[in-house]
Amino acid sequence: MRYLHTMVRISDERASLRFYCDILGMREVRRVENAAGRFTLIFLAADEDVTHAKRTHAPLLELTYNWDGEKLPPSSRNWGHLAFEVDDIYAFCAHLQQCGVTINRPPRDGRMAFIKSPDDISIEILQKGDPLPVREPWASMENSGTW
């Protein structure tokens, strides 16, 4: 068995690409426009996975955009979450805040944080390797909303 991709539905292609590519740093590696089915599939890879993803088409995040619109569920908590590993969780979370992203579960432990996509998909951010030493302002920061 081989992991291929995770699909999430999106309601706004521009907002989703800004979030996943411009803010999170993922890169589009493939796109399928299906006029008959009236949908677009956008396949993204994390920066460190781009070469592998282009060669084998995995592991990928598939964003599915239905051209005629689709009412997404009011909450995506039952969808679980996506998880990404970063070199410095504090620097990455600071970058997210500068981009206007709410840190729903701050990295108080130097290891884990949660944010939400524009379509309410929970995203877990994990520190690569060992947790970083606990530091402010993260250590005393409260949760915000759900994650």
Per-residue pLDDT in tens (0 to 9) along the chain, 147 residues:
677 789 998 999 999 999 999 999 999 999 999 999 999 999 999 988 999 888 887 789 999 999 998 777 666 555 678 999 999 999 999 999 999 999 999 999 999 999 999 988 899 999 999 999 999 999 999 999 988
Residue 18: its pLDDT value, please? 98
The encoded tokens of residue 26 equal: 């993922």
Sign of CA dihedral 83, 85, 89, 94: negative
Q: Under CATH, domain 77-127 is a member of which superfamily?
A: 2,3-Dihydroxybiphenyl 1,2-Dioxygenase, domain 1 (3.10.180.10)
DSSP label of 141: P
State the architecture of 5-66 in CATH terms.
Roll (3.10)
* Residue type present at position 27: R
Catalytic status, residue 48: no
Q: Residue ranges per domain, the chain?
A: 5-66, 77-127
Q: Answer whether the bond into residue 59 is a cis peptide, omega within 30°.
A: yes
Instruction: Write down the pTM of the prediction.
Output: 0.83
CATH fold match for the domains 5-66 and 77-127: yes
Exposure string over 131-147, b if 16+ CB within 10 A, otherwise e: ebeeeeebeeeeeeeeb
- The three state secondary structure string of 65-129 is EECCCCCCCCCCHHHCEEEEEECCHHHHHHHHHHCCCCCCECCCCCCEEEEECCCCCEEEEEECC
Contacts of 13 (CB under 8 A, 6+ apart): 40, 42, 63, 65
Cα–Cα distance measured from residue 124 to residue 141, given in angstroms and rounded to the nearest whole number: 17
Among the listed residues 13, 70, 85, 124, the single catalytic one is: 124
Q: Which amino acid is at 91?
A: A
